[in-house]
C-alpha cells in the first residue's frame, strides 16, 4: 500500500482531513508542562517538548489522520532537541498516525539521498510496502517536506526512496507566507515559477499512481492564497496536498475546500498553534485554561474537524 | 567584528580560501575509523563520524579558514547523528575555525527565526560582536546555508540574527548540480531566477557593510558554472561567496578564481570528498593509504591551497 493510499485511508477512517502541526515553543507551553522544567537547559526543555507532543498525540490519535512535527523548533534546542524530535516522530508513528516531518530539506545528488534515507519511511509504511521494517528510516516518519530550488535532479533521490519504502514527500509549491510570491509568483515564459514546480511534481508522479489516481509526490500549497489553491489542485490532480495557513495564519474552511477531491480526500489541512496552544485561545481559555490544556487540544481539534466537514 | 571581516581575516591569516567540507559517509571512512566501529548501530557510527571529523579538524585547523559540516550525512544516522554534528561543530569552532553549517534550511516567519536562532552564531562570533557568549547559538556554528524559495520575508529573520550575533548566512543562488538550472535559470522579465535571488542578497546587505565592503549575507554559487560565477561575483560585490563543486564535481582552479576579489579574498572554495577521503585518491593511496589517512588529508589540503594560490 502506497503513501497516498495510506493517507487517504486514514482520512476515511478518522473522517478528518486535519493535520496537527507539532510546533513546540518554550514561551507558549501550557503551565503544567512549563512549570515542570527543572532547569533552563536544552535537555530539560527537550524533555518538556517530548512530553508535550506525546500528550498531544495521545489526544488526537483517533481524531486525525496525521501530524506534522516542525523540525525547526526542535533544532532550536540544539542536539537535545533532535533527540526529542526522534522520540516524538516514533511515538506518533507507533500510535498509528502518519507522520510528516516538516524540515523543508534538500540538497544535490547523493546528499539529497542522505536526507531521503534519513526521513522517509516508517516501519508501518515499509511494512505496507511488503518490506522489512528494519529498512525503515532512522527517524521513523512517513514523509518529509522538500524544497524545489535545486531542481529536478535534487528531487529524484527522494522519489526513489518513496518507491522503496512506500513513503511520501511534499514539495514546496506555493507557500503561505506574505512574501512567498517573491520568487514563486515570477512569470517565466507565461508560466509562474510555482506552476513550473507544480508541473514537475505532476511529471514525477507519472507511473506511480494508486487506484485512486494519487502518487507519492505531494505538494505544499498555502491556504492563504485561495485562487492559487484552486489552480494548483487542478494542475496537480495526482498529488496529496498539504495545506498550511489555516486558522492562525488566516485561511478559512471555505478557502481550503478546494484542496479536497470529490470524495473529500486528497489533501490534509494543517493547523499548529490553533490546536496545540488552544489553552490560550479565548474560546477555550475560560473553560479549560492551562490546567486542562489537553482538553483544549481535543476541543480545538474537534472544532476544526467540524469546520472542515461543513 | 562582523562575520565577513572574520572570514576575510581568517583567509589572510591562513593564506587559504579553502573550505573543507565535512561529509562523513559510512562506506568511505578510512579503514582505521571504520574498523573501530564496534556495532552497526547509529550510536557507534555517530561516534565514528565525530572522531573522523574532529581528526580532520586537527589536521586542517591552521591550514584553512573554515569548515562546512554537511548536516544531511549526520541526519542520516538519526538523532545520534545530530549529537555528533553538535560535537563536530563545537570542536571545530573551539579550534578557531569558522564553521558554516550546510543545512540549506528555511521556513516562514517565526519558524525561520527558530532556524536562525538554532544555527547562527558561535561563542567566537558573539564575542567578536561584543556580546555575551552565553547568547551564542545552541549548535555553536558561525553561519548557515539557506534556501531562498520562500522569499524575502523568510530571509529577514536570519538577517536579524546575523546582526545580533555577528553571524552569516549563505543564500543558495546558483547551485553546482547539473539540474540546478531547472528553476534557477528560468527567465522572468529578462532576468533569471538566480539573478533575482542575487539582487535580493545585495539588497539585504545594504547598510551592513564592513570596512572592506562586505556584508553578512553571503551566497552559494557553484564552481561548475564559470560564466555565471563571473556574472554573480559582479552582481553581489558585497557578498562572501561559498563556491562548491571544486574538485570531485569538476570545477577547476581557473574557474573559481573569478569568485575572489582583487586582494584574493571575498570567497571560500569548498572541497569535501577530494580532501576528507583523499586516502582513496590514486595520487595519495599509494603513499598514505588508509593507515595514514590524516596525512592524505593534509596533503590534499596543501595541494588545493597551492592550486588556488597559483
List B26, B61, B104, B257, catalytic entry: B104
Q: Is B242 helix (H, G, I), strand (E, B) or coil?
A: strand
Q: Could you tell me what percent of chain A has a pLDDT over 70?
A: 100
> Predicted confidence band at A227 (pLDDT cuts at 50, 70, 90)?
very high
> Predicted confidence band at B186 (pLDDT cuts at 50, 70, 90)?
very high
- A195-226 pLDDT, tens digit each: 999 999 999 999 999 999 999 999 999 999 99
Residue A248 has pLDDT above 80, yes or no: no
Query: Over chain A, what is the mean pLDDT?
Result: 96
Cell numbers representing residue A110 in the block:
547523493
Cβ(B202)–Cβ(B233) below 8 Å:
no
- pLDDT on residue B251: 80
Cβ(B71)–Cβ(B101) below 8 Å:
yes
> Residue A153 belongs to what H/E stretch?
helix A152-165
- B259-290 pLDDT, tens digit each: 999 999 999 999 999 999 999 999 999 999 99
Calpha distance B81→A138 (Å, rounded): 10
Calpha distance A49→A74 (Å, rounded): 8
Residue A72 has pLDDT above 80, yes or no: yes
CB proximity B82 to A under 8 Å: yes
- pLDDT on residue A249: 77
- pLDDT on residue B252: 87
Sign of the C-alpha dihedral computed for residues B76, A102, A100 and A130 taken in this order:
negative
- pLDDT on residue A232: 98
- pLDDT on residue A48: 98
- pLDDT on residue A55: 98
Structure ipTM: 0.98
- Supply the CATH number for residue A177's domain: 3.20.20.70
Measure CB to CB from residue A78 to each of B138, B177, B187 and give the nearest one. B138
Taking CB atoms and an 8 Å cutoff, what residues of chain B touch A68? none
> Predicted confidence band at B116 (pLDDT cuts at 50, 70, 90)?
very high
Provide the residue range defining the domain that includes B286. Answer: 3-309
- pLDDT on residue A310: 82
Cβ(A116)–Cβ(A161) below 8 Å:
yes
Cβ(A35)–Cβ(A82) below 8 Å:
no
- pLDDT on residue B310: 82
Q: Is B84 helix (H, G, I), strand (E, B) or coil?
A: helix
Q: Which of B122, B124, B103, B106 is nearest to B114 (CA)?
A: B106
Query: Over chain B, what is the mean pLDDT?
Result: 96
- B216-225 pLDDT, tens digit each: 999 999 999 9
Q: Which of A163, A188, A187, A13 is nearest to A98 (CA)?
A: A13
| Chain B interface test: which of A43, A44, A151 (most B C-beta within 10 Å) | A151
> Predicted confidence band at A239 (pLDDT cuts at 50, 70, 90)?
very high
Partner-chain contact A149 B154, CB within 8 Å = no
Taking CB atoms and an 8 Å cutoff, what residues of chain A touch B177? 108-109, 150-151, 153-154
Q: Which of B142, B301, B303, B270 is nearest to A108 (CA)?
A: B270
| Chain A interface test: which of B27, B74, B109, B114 (most A C-beta within 10 Å) | B114
- pLDDT on residue A303: 97
Taking CB atoms and an 8 Å cutoff, what residues of chain B touch A149? 147-149, 172, 175, 183-184
Residue B258 has pLDDT above 80, yes or no: yes
Cβ(A66)–Cβ(A7) below 8 Å:
yes
Q: Which of B109, B94, B173, B106 is nearest to B141 (CA)?
A: B94
> Predicted confidence band at A189 (pLDDT cuts at 50, 70, 90)?
confident
CB proximity A117 to B under 8 Å: yes
- pLDDT on residue A80: 98
Cβ(B137)–Cβ(A94) below 8 Å:
no
Average pLDDT over residues A184-201: 96
Counted domains in chain A:
1
- A31-60 pLDDT, tens digit each: 999 999 999 999 999 999 999 999 999 999
Q: At a CB cut-off of 8 Å and minimum separation 6, what does B284 contact? A: B278, B296, B299, B300
- pLDDT on residue B225: 94
**DSSP code, position A257:** G
Concerning whether B104 is annotated as a catalytic residue, the answer is yes
End-to-end CA distance of chain B: 30
Residue B248 has pLDDT above 80, yes or no: no
C-alpha radius of gyration, chain A, whole number: 18
Calpha distance A245→A138 (Å, rounded): 29
Residue B189 has pLDDT above 90, yes or no: no
Nearest chain B residue (CA) to A245: B108
User: Residue B269: which region, alpha, beta or left (left: phi > 0; alpha: psi -120 to 50)?
Assistant: beta
Amino acid at each position: 500500500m502506497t503513501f497516498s493510499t495510506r493517507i487517504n485511508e486514514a482520512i476515511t477512517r478518522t473522517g478528518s482531513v486535519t493535520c496537527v502541526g507539532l510546533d513546540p515553543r518554550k514561551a507558549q507551553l501550557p503551565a503544567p508542562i512549563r512549570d515542570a522544567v527543572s532547569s533552563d537547559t536544552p535537555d530539560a526543555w527537550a524533555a518538556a517538548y517530548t512530553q508535550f507532543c506525546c500528550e498531544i498525540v495521545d489526544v488526537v490519535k483517533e481524531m486525525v489522520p496525521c501530524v506534522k512535527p516542525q523540525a525547526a523548533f526542535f533544532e532550536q534546542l540544539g542536539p537535545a532537541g533532535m533527540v526529542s524530535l526522534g522520540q516524538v516522530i516514533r511515538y506518533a508513528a507507533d500510535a498509528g498516525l502518519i507522520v510528516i516531518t516538516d524540515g523543508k530539506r534538500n540538497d544535490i545528488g547523493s546528499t539529497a539521498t542522505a536526507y531521503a534515507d534519513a526521513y522517509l519511511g516508517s516501519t508501518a509504511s515499509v511494512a505496507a510496502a511488503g518490506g522489512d521494517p528494519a529498512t525503515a528510516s532512522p527517524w521513523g516518519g512517513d514523509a518529509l517536506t522538500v524544497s524545489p530550488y535545486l531542481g529536478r535532479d535534487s528531487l529524484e533521490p527522494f522519489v526513489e526512496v518513496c518507491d522503496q519504502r512506500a513513503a511520501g514527500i511534499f514539495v514546496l509549491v506555493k507557500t503561505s507566507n506574505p512574501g512567498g510570491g517573491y520568487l514563486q509568483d515570477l512569470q517565466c515564459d507565461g508560466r509562474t515559477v510555482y506552476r513550473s514546480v507544480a508541473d514537475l511534481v505532476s511529471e514525477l508522479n507519472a507511473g506511480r499512481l494508486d487506484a485512486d489516481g494519487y502518487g507519492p509526490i505531494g505538494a505544499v500549497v498555502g491556504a492563504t492564497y485561495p485562487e492559487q489553491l484552486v489552480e494548483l489542485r487542478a494542475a496537480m490532480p495526482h498529488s496529496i496536498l498539504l495545506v498550511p495557513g489555516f486558522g492562525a495564519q488566516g485561511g478559512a474552511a471555505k478557502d481550503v475546500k478546494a484542496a479536497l477531491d470529490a470524495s473529500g480526500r486528497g489533501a490534509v489541512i494543517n493547523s499548529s498553534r490553533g490546536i496545540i496552544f488552544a489553552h490560550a485561545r479565548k474560546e477555550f481559555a475560560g473553560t479549560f485554561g492551562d490546567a486542562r490544556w489537553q482538553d483544549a487540544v481535543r476541543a480545538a481539534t474537534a472544532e476544526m474537524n467540524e469546520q472542515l466537514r461543513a
